[in-house]
Structure 1
Amino acid sequence: MKFRLHLFELEDQPWFPHVVRQGMMDVLRFMITALGIYKPVVPLLRKALAHTGQTQLVDLCSGAGGGIQQVWQELEKQAGQRFTITLTDKYPNLEAYAFLADQTNGGLRFEQQPVDATAVPPVLKGFRTVFSAFHHFRPETATAILEDAVRQNQGIGVFEGAGKRWHELLLVWFVFPWAILLFTPFIRPFTWRRLFFTYLVPLIPLGTMWDGTVSLLRLYTPAHLEKMVAAIHAPHYTWHIGRARHWSGTGVLYLVGYPS
């Protein structure tokens, strides 16, 4: 798919029930981790961190922290050193963040106050990452996220857990619903609310199907990302853009930029 349609996602809507939004993000976190979606981009991230000499990362638009624990573990394993990641979001999922912080003995931290990805507080220094969230923003806002990183001279990595391929729509429509019904009892931290909105009133699986479809249509292709970077005046930055191949046959879209 070379085109991009910016349709509406349910989880972006202020009227959408928070408990359902949180349940959908928890499902996404579980599935991304179980499938190891972001493992292929860890070497790219590790090289960028080695180039900048940073061991502190600031994760923007963290949602429920989908896949970030696995990325942190793989980073430390591959680099043989300690890293810390601060989770942030405009609508922070504090319950999920506290769970991840406990699971990693503080390797994953979190900011309790809302953080705007287009104007990150200067006190939050570190290599910035955006996992599974860049497609939520229209081009002008997405470009502003990159510009803010350049303005504050911070590296940034943008990663989307799909390659924008037609067959990925089939996975969302015919595999995701059954996977959610199967895996939901094993998602932690456990909540009865998640069970209710999965099995009795199935808003979580239905919402995930809709948002998953819209997300694929919203994804920026490498050509789109190249155009964004070209619009930013950052001659001192090095940019890497492309698709990393996942074992499932899908791709992981990425943009990595850092000061040269």
Structure 2
Amino acid sequence: MAPLIPRLHLFEIDDQPWFPSFLRSHVQDALTLAWNSNTPLQPESPARIAASILIRQLGNSLSSYTFIDFCAGGGGPIPAIQQAINSHLSSQNKLPVDFILTDLHPNVTAWEKIVNKNPHITYESQSVDATNAPKYLVERQDGKKVMRLFNLSFHHFDDTLARGILKDTVNTSHGFTIFELQDRSFASAVSVLMFGVGAIAMAPFFALKRRSLTIFIFSCIIPMIPFVLVFDGLVSCLRVRTPGEVETLLRGCGADTSSWEIQSGRRKFIWPCGYLNWIICKPIKGS
């Protein structure tokens, strides 16, 4: 069913060049925490759900891919997805797959910590434009196919940029996956507000764990971080595209997409109204 609310490409604070980088890093950390959280209302993290979707949808072809996150931010769900997928492949006596973190504005500091703990994750330290991915990145010397990942990020692109990204994907890669934690519904807006309340409630504990006075000040005294999370989260609800809207952009991107098919779905990740929405698009097998 098409949402009643039309897609609105409003601005998000975290996207703005004037937003302080030290606050942006804390916002990215909070989003990473959201991807990986387990609570009584959230028995399975969105990251683990995303991994299970990739395992189920890609099936026996899973081990043939290298996964490249083109808007990795602070790393988000990639460590958890990598662990779940490679644990699954190991149980099937198959070789592990690799993940690569990239971004237009690389967060190398955060990625270094991830890579040091995860041998099957690497990163590209140079700026990567998803509309013109460098050949050395997508032309794999190991013969693996490239699956592009957009984790809580595809909604950031306006229609012109999105078509450019999809055109480059069709011409240089073997599929793409979009995961979004919002959609254009009232229930999704409620889940964003719940996240904001949780961010404020957990801020003292998170600040103590990180030994960060900045987190405490800008979450508890001047609640800038929770405000940005809620404001940008509500705007993200209005920005997220339906599978049909993504397919319209794909078919109109200027590349030959006749052999590409889209699959999509949604899974609840937090009671009562938080859903992970997913889209996986790749060429039809044998085409």
TM-score for the superposition, normalised by structure 2 = 0.81
**5+ long unaligned stretches in structure 2:** 39-44, 139-145
Q: Does 1:252 align with 2:279?
A: no
Other-structure match for 1:91: 105
Q: Does 1:206 align with 2:227?
A: yes
- Correspondent of 2:257 among 215, 223, 234: 234
Amino acid corresponding to residue 236 of structure 1 in structure 2: S
- Correspondent of 2:196 among 177, 181, 187: 177
Amino acid corresponding to residue 45 of structure 1 in structure 2: L
Q: Distance in 1 between matches of 2:211 and 2:73?
A: 17
**Percent of aligned positions with the same letter in both sequences?**
27
Other-structure match for 1:132: 152
| Within-5 A mapping of 1:47-66 | 47-48=57-58, 50-51=60-61, 53-66=63-76
Q: Distance in 2 between matches of 1:63 and 1:168?
A: 22
Q: Distance in 2 between matches of 1:190 and 1:11?
A: 23
Q: How many residues align structurally? A: 258
Contact 1:164 1:217 in 2 (8 A): yes
Contact 2:179 2:277 in 1 (8 A): yes
Deviations 1:176-199 (A, max 9, x none): 233112334437766443333222
Flag the 1:202–1:228 CA change in 2: closer, same or farther, 3 A: same
Other-structure match for 2:24: 21
Other-structure match for 2:141: none
Flag the 1:242–1:198 CA change in 2: closer, same or farther, 3 A: same
Q: Does 1:186 align with 2:206?
A: yes
- Correspondent of 1:6 among 4, 9, 22: 9
- Correspondent of 1:40 among 49, 52, 55: 49
Amino acid corresponding to residue 88 of structure 2 in structure 1: Q
Amino acid corresponding to residue 32 of structure 1 in structure 2: W
Contact 1:52 1:155 in 2 (8 A): no
Amino acid corresponding to residue 6 of structure 1 in structure 2: H
Q: Answer with 1 or 2: which has the greater Rg.
A: 2
Amino acid corresponding to residue 250 of structure 1 in structure 2: G
Structure of greater relative contact order (alpha carbons < 8 Å, 6+ residues apart): 1
Deviations 1:159-190 (A, max 9, x none): 112343312212322x2233112334437766
Moved more, 47-56 or 144-153: 47-56
1:209 CA drift (Å): 1.1
Contact 1:162 1:253 in 2 (8 A): yes
- Correspondent of 1:222 among 243, 250, 253: 243
Contact 2:183 2:241 in 1 (8 A): no
SS in 1 for 2:202: helix
TM-score for the superposition, normalised by structure 1 = 0.89
**5+ long unaligned stretches in structure 1:** none
Moved more, 157-166 or 238-247: 238-247
Flag the 1:50–1:228 CA change in 2: closer, same or farther, 3 A: farther
Deviations 1:116-166 (A, max 9, x none): 111111111332111000001111211221211111133211111234331
When the two chains are superposed, the root-mean-square deviation of aligned CA atoms in Å is 2.2
Other-structure match for 2:133: 120
Q: Distance in 1 between matches of 2:195 and 2:9?
A: 22
SS in 2 for 1:63: coil
1:45 CA drift (Å): 1.9
Contact 1:165 1:250 in 2 (8 A): no
Moved more, 124-133 or 155-164: 155-164
Q: Distance in 2 between matches of 1:159 and 1:45?
A: 11
Contact 1:101 1:109 in 2 (8 A): yes
Q: Distance in 2 between matches of 1:31 and 1:183?
A: 12
Q: Does 1:79 align with 2:89?
A: yes
Flag the 1:258–1:52 CA change in 2: closer, same or farther, 3 A: farther
Q: Distance in 2 between matches of 1:237 and 1:96?
A: 34
